[in-house]
Amino acid sequence: MRLADKVAIVTGGGSGIGRAAALLFAREGASVLVADIEGDAAGRTAAAIEAAGGRASSFRLDVSKAAEAEALTAACVERYGRLDVLINNAGIGPISPLDDLRVDEWDAMVDVNVKGVLHGIAAALPVFRAQGSGHFVNTASTAAHTIRPAMAVYSATKMAVRAISEGLRQEAGPNLRVTVITPGMTDTGFADDISNPEVRAQIAASKTDFGMPPAAIAHAMAYAIAQPPEVDVGEVIVRPTAQS
**Spatial contact of 24 and 222, defined as CB atoms under 8 Å apart:** yes
User: What pLDDT score does 66 carry?
Assistant: 98
**Cα–Cα dist 217/237, whole Å:** 9
Which residues have CB under 8 Å from 155's CB, separation 6+? 141, 143, 144, 146, 147, 148
Specify the pLDDT at position 192.
86
pLDDT tens readout for residues 94-121: 999 999 999 999 999 999 999 999 999 9
Catalytic residues: 154
SS3 content of the chain, % helix, strand, coil (to 5): 50, 15, 30
CA angle 35–36–38, rounded 5-degree value: 140
Catalogue all structural domains in the chain, each as residue range(s) with its CATH number: 7-238 (3.40.50.720)
What is the distance between the alpha carbons of residues 4 and 21, in angstroms, rounded to a whole number?
Answer: 15
Q: In the chain, which residues have pLDDT < 70? A: none
